[in-house]
């Protein structure tokens, strides 16, 4: 499927958030932090987000325009539109925030920590609270403070298939809103605090699960020549697939293969008949299909070399998140400030230099702009990019004095951004919404049909 491109050029003068709208957002942040605590304290897993959705809709009830009700989407999600109705043919800027938590037992020790077997250790509670603050601020200040309507999408099932984003993108209710640009944001501990990263092109990798099963001939551990050792064959397969990136992938392209689970045997003196492994194959700008084909070559060829047979099952998950170049340029210009990659001592990986502070940042976000960050993490936000121009931003969480990557990261039981991150994410979102809306209005061309 060809990726749609926006018809709008970058505005000559980067748009800024109206002072009244900026002030309204600041006034909403305390309530947004309280909402974040409520979501964090009582998380819901993928597919079971109805309670979280209802909590969000309750927080927005007094700013939804009269006569307009939120649209249900993807079973347990919801959408709220501010500004001109879709029936008038006005394209909207959509913002996605994820409702679901992970099946992890939290170890943060926070006073609002979750106590069950689910936890918001990926920052989704921050994303949702920030988007609620943005919607409420627009509702109070008036949607005419925006260049284009806003569609807030509270999406279920980001963490687990079937993909909530894929279901939203294909839902007729979403299509009817005539979305011209899609925005998302993610907190990122690989970036220093006070940084927002915006760039075009691939920023998150595709992610496919692989399941390998090796079949041999079992037997006695003292008579290995009578067996065909499935464990040995699997061990060589695991070693072999980890060499694929270094020898079968263009060194200028990014990809990674990880085997995270191996299972075999029932006793130390028995050569088992079967052995299995599971892992992931991720491609940022490496060729996804070529990587999977190489895995199959290694699995089947290595098993044969050891007198065994093997099967490879690929469970497709998410395509790569590819940011629209024009939308990225427009939003980056609106965020303003000195770029982090231009600052003394910085490098292409975003480490080093005077990172972690916000000097040189532009209004209204108070964040330093980074244009280098990307990772082999994955996100189902990629499905929006398959049907309309989309942009994922990343906001750093690592505090000054700490090195990104050393503390608890995404999905770790101790990961939890501090409450001030709600405001930082909200400011970045609001500035991006204004910029994207101005770009939509700047053209007389029709926005791409999301289904084309």
> Is residue 83 located within the same domain as residue 129?
yes
Residue ending a domain, among 318, 353, 384, is: 318
Distance CA 389, CA 5 (A): 6
Q: What does each C-alpha distance from 422 to 62, 106, 128, 365, 425 come to in angstroms? A: 21, 20, 9, 12, 5
Whether 418 is covered by a domain: the verdict is: yes
Tell whether 221 and 199 lie within a shared domain: no
pLDDT at residue 340, rounded to an integer: 59
Does residue 12 lie in a domain region?
Answer: no
Task: Give the CATH number of the domain where residue 295 resides.
Answer: 3.30.70.360
Contact, 165 vs 384, CB < 8 A? Answer: yes
Residues 190 and 214 in one domain: no
pTM score above 0.85: yes
Please report, for residues 96, 122, 167, 216, 264, the alpha-carbon distance to residue 450 in angstroms, rounded to integers and kept in the order given: 16, 28, 13, 49, 47
Cα distance between residue 355 and residue 5, in whole Å? 33
Bridge partners (DSSP) listed for residue 118: none
Whether residues 254 and 188 fall in one domain: no
Residue 169 falls within a domain, yes or no? yes
> How far apart are the C-alpha atoms of 452 and 434, rounded to whole Å?
26
Does residue 421 contact residue 432 with C-beta atoms inside 8 Å? no
DSSP 397: E
Q: Say whether both 231 and 272 belong to one domain.
A: yes
The C-alpha R_g of the chain, in whole angstroms, comes to 24
Q: What is the pLDDT of residue 356?
A: 35
Closest C-alpha to 381, from 150, 108, 147, 94:
94
In a domain, residue 41? The reply is: yes
| 323 DSSP β-pair partners | 201
State residue 355's pLDDT score. 34
Cα 165 from Cα 119, distance rounded (Å):
21
- Give the whole-angstrom CA distance, residue 326 versus residue 205: 20
Domain boundary, last residue among 267, 285, 318: 318
Cis ω for the linkage preceding 364 (within 30 of 0): yes
CA distance 302 to 235: 10
Give which of 294, 142, 307, 311 is closest to 214, Cα–Cα. 311
The domain total for the chain is: 2
How many Cβ atoms sit within 10 Å of the Cβ of residue 141?
20
Closest C-alpha to 375, from 392, 358, 355? 392
- Supply the pLDDT for residue 338: 53
- Tell me the C-alpha distance between 330 and 327, whole Å: 5
Measure the N-to-C terminal CA separation of the chain; round to a whole number of Å: 9
* 201/283 same-domain check: no
Strand partners, 365: none
DSSP at 163 = P
The answer to the question of residue 9 being in a domain is no
Angle at which helix 124-141 crosses helix 420-441, to 10 degrees, equals 60
Q: Do residues 13 and 396 touch, judged by C-beta distance below 8 A?
A: no
Domain with residue 165: its CATH number is 3.40.630.10
112 — phi, psi (to 5°)? -110, 25
- Same domain? 171 vs 59: yes
Cβ pair 185, 192 in contact under 8 A = no
Whether residue 79 lies inside any domain: the answer is yes
Same domain, 55 and 148: yes
Report pLDDT digits (tens) over 88-109. Answer: 888 999 999 999 999 999 999 9
Q: Which residue, of 318, 341, 361, is where some domain finishes?
A: 318
Are residue 23 and residue 144 in the same domain, yes or no?
A: yes
Query: Is residue 13, in this structure, part of any structural domain at all?
Result: no
Tokens of 93: 């800027």
Shared-domain flag, residues 186 and 325: yes
Residues 251 and 249: their CA atoms lie apart, in Å, by 6
- Structure tokens given for 256: 């990674």
Q: Is 448 a domain residue?
A: no
Q: Which two tokens stand for residue 338?
A: 């000195």
pLDDT (tens, 9 = 90+) of the chain, 452 residues, equals 444 544 444 555 778 899 999 999 999 999 999 999 999 999 999 999 999 999 999 999 999 988 889 999 999 999 999 999 988 888 999 999 999 999 999 999 999 999 999 999 999 999 999 999 999 999 999 999 999 999 999 999 999 989 999 999 999 999 999 999 999 999 999 999 999 999 999 999 999 999 999 999 999 999 999 999 999 999 999 999 999 999 999 999 999 999 999 999 999 999 999 999 999 999 999 999 999 999 999 999 999 999 999 999 999 999 999 999 999 999 999 886 555 554 433 333 333 333 333 333 344 578 999 999 999 999 999 999 999 999 999 999 999 889 988 899 999 999 999 999 999 999 999 999 999 999 998 864 454 454 43
Contact, 357 vs 181, CB < 8 A?
no
Tokens linked to 215? 């079949």
| Residue 356 zone, left/alpha/beta (φ > 0; ψ -120 to 50; rest) | left
Task: Say how far residue 76 (Cα) sits from the centre of its chain.
Answer: 19
Do 341 and 367 lie in a common domain?
yes
Give the residue numbers spanning the domain of 301. Answer: 206-318
Are 340 and 387 found together in one domain? yes
């Amino acid at each position: 499927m060809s990726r749609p491109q926006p018809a709008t050029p970058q505005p000559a003068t980067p748009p800024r958030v109206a002072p009244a709208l900026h002030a309204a957002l600041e006034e909403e942040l305390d309530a947004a932090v309280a909402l974040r605590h409520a979501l964090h304290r009582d998380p819901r897993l993928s597919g079971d987000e109805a309670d979280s959705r209802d909590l969000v809709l309750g927080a927005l009830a007094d700013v939804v325009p009269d006569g307009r009700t939120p649209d249900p989407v993807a079973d347990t999600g919801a959408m709220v539109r501010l500004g001109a109705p879709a029936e008038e043919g006005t394209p909207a800027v959509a913002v996605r925030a994820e409702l679901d938590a992970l099946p992890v037992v939290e170890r943060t020790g926070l006073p609002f920590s979750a106590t069950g077997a689910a936890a918001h250790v990926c920052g989704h509670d921050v994303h949702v609270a920030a988007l609620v603050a943005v919607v409420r601020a627009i509702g109070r200040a008036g949607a005419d403070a925006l260049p284009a309507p806003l569609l807030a999408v509270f999406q279920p099932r980001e963490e687990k298939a079937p993909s909530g984003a894929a279901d939203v993108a294909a839902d007729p209710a979403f299509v009817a809103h005539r979305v011209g640009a899609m925005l998302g944001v993610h907190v990122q501990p690989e970036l220093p605090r006070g940084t927002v990263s915006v760039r075009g092109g691939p920023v998150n990798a595709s992610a496919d699960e692989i399941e390998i099963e090796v079949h041999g001939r079992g037997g006695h551990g003292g008579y290995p020549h009578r067996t065909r050792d499935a464990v040995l064959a699997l061990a060589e397969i695991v070693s072999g697939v980890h060499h694929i990136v270094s020898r079968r992938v263009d060194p200028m392209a990014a990809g990674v293969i990880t085997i995270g689970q191996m299972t075999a045997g029932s006793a130390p003196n028995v050569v088992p008949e079967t052995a299995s492994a599971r892992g992931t194959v991720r491609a940022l700008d490496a060729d996804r299909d070529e990587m999977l084909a190489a895995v199959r070559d290694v699995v089947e060829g290595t098993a044969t070399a050891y007198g065994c047979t093997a099967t490879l099952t690929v469970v497709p998950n998410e395509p790569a998140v590819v940011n629209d170049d024009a939308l990225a340029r427009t939003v980056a210009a609106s965020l303003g400030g000195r770029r982090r990659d231009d600052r003394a001592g910085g490098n292409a990986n975003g480490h080093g230099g005077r990172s972690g502070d916000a000097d040189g940042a532009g209004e209204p976000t108070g964040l330093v702009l980074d244009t280098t960050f990307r990772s082999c993490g994955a996100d189902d936000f990629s499905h929006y990019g398959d049907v309309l121009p989309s942009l994922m931003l990343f906001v750093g969480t690592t505090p000054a004095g700490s090195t990104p990557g050393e503390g608890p990261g995404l999905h770790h039981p101790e990961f939890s951004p501090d409450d001030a991150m709600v405001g930082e994410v909200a400011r970045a979102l609001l500035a991006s919404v204004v910029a994207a809306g101005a770009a939509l209005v700047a053209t007389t061309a029709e926005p791409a049909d999301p289904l084309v």
